[in-house]
Structure 1
């Protein structure tokens, strides 16, 4: 079974009767989804960016999880009043992991923030508060809950191939989105309001896909199963 690394939050958390401490955490839906898709999940808490190549050498694939807003200074923007507090340790760690994965040809799946990070890594920019652009809050109607909306893949893309068949409704919870595409990226799915919902790399072999939605909170395993298949073909771990 391929070994799939999943990045984590770095935040303060409470648990039990008394504990309130800084924590590296991940919603359980992420590892459960990887496991259901046939992979072995391992959490990747923020570390020194210089260690990223050594970490990727031991993984068969990488999942960049959702979470906090990226620091807008990474794409030369001033913070929007609705942007969250930056977590630079996580930002720089995940950028280093993504860079190492692309350099080694390790399969990558970016989810929500993870897709946005892929765009910023490629020199793209983000819309820091999507309702300002689309005029509604349908992508994030209530804190702490997921809504559903349809997306339309672009014909001829990997995204369209993976999601062929029934009309696609996806789970959404985000207030930021891709603005200007980074170099070497192409949008491969859109929401009805024009929001970019998936990204792929052009001219690059191997599996590297970003989705704005949250596949881990729904039963559709197609995207993650594709990641696991790619990891089974290209991975170094040798675990079985």
Structure 2
């Protein structure tokens, strides 16, 4: 029986905001991510902030990496000062995500960024963000829905030559929980999907297996939404295919 692929998930490190354990740090990851990987045929490995060499040891055991959603990204990472509507940031967590991204990229491990993870991929490669989409982009509609996490919010339109176009029609419905978005796209990336107001909803590297989506497929999957499961299955299939190619090359050598 073939082994299931191991998918590392970079988790958030947060401080306790209550009065009981002030300053206590927690590793936080919504269970939806773990369940989504399980439904798609993989095994989740939760990754936290570790020394680079230790993190590399874990990533060497992974077939793919997911950068999860979370707080806003420190604007100093894209050479801007704080906007008045910037939300909570945690630079230590941003640096951990970038370390995991760089290590996985150097190892050739497929990467999927979700929401903040999607934005961070862009920032780490030289792109920038709207720190607050609605106040900085007058064409943008409201992108933080009020409904259930598995409810649809708006359509996204898939680019015809994109990775997503291999398994999605020209438009799909997604959920939406963000107030930041990509402003300047990183040079080595191309747009995979847009919303009707022109906001970049998905990206992919031009040459490497690095993908980002602004919506939350793992939340949609909490109610077994088929399109979201298809996305997760395709990413995991990509991880399996890459691993099989690597093993074949090792046998040839």
TM over 0.5, yes or no? yes
Deviation at 1:230, TM superposition (A): 1.6
Q: C-alpha offsets along residues 127-174 of structure 1, whole Å, 9 cap, x if unaligned?
A: 000112145552114499565110001101112113237x41001100
What is the CA–CA distance in structure 1 between the aligned matches of 2:91 and 2:106, rounded to whole Å? 22
Deviation at 1:52, TM superposition (A): 3.4
1:150 corresponds to 2:152: no
What is the CA–CA distance in structure 2 between the aligned matches of 1:136 and 1:102, rounded to whole Å? 32
- Report what 2:121 is aligned to: 118
The size of the alignment, in residue pairs, is 232
List runs of 5+ in structure 1 lacking aligned partners.
none
**Pairing 1:143-222 to 2, within 5 Å after superposition:** 148-164=153-169, 167-204=171-208, 207-218=209-220, 219=225, 220-222=228-230
On the 8 A contact 2:113/2:121 being kept in 1, the answer is yes
1:231 corresponds to 2:239: yes
**For the pair shown, which has the larger CA radius of gyration, 1 or 2?**
2
- Report what 1:138 is aligned to: 142
Query: Are the structure 2 counterparts of residues 80 and 56 from structure 1 closer, same or farther at C-alpha, using a change threshold of 3 Å?
Result: same
Ranked by relative contact order (alpha carbons within 8 Å, sequence separation 6 or more), the top structure is 1
What is the CA–CA distance in structure 2 between the aligned matches of 1:144 and 1:164, rounded to whole Å? 24
Deviation at 1:19, TM superposition (A): 6.9
**Pairing 1:35-114 to 2, within 5 Å after superposition:** 35-114=38-117
On the 8 A contact 2:152/2:173 being kept in 1, the answer is no
- Report what 2:26 is aligned to: 23
More strand by share: 1
What is the CA–CA distance in structure 2 between the aligned matches of 1:117 and 1:65, rounded to whole Å? 10
Secondary structure in 2 matching 1:187: strand
On the 8 A contact 2:110/2:210 being kept in 1, the answer is yes
List runs of 5+ in structure 2 lacking aligned partners.
248-253
Query: Are the structure 2 counterparts of residues 30 and 140 from structure 1 closer, same or farther at C-alpha, using a change threshold of 3 Å?
Result: same
TM-score, normalisation: structure 1: 0.88
Query: Are the structure 2 counterparts of residues 100 and 151 from structure 1 closer, same or farther at C-alpha, using a change threshold of 3 Å?
Result: same
TM-score, normalisation: structure 2: 0.84
Q: C-alpha offsets along residues 31-75 of structure 1, whole Å, 9 cap, x if unaligned?
A: 101110000011112223454332221111000000011110000
Secondary structure in 2 matching 1:89: helix
Backbone CA RMSD of aligned residues: 2.4
- Report what 2:250 is aligned to: none
On the 8 A contact 2:130/2:182 being kept in 1, the answer is yes
What is the CA–CA distance in structure 1 between the aligned matches of 2:21 and 2:147, rounded to whole Å? 24
Q: C-alpha offsets along residues 179-210 of structure 1, whole Å, 9 cap, x if unaligned?
A: 10112011110000000000011133xx3210
On the 8 A contact 2:145/2:153 being kept in 1, the answer is no
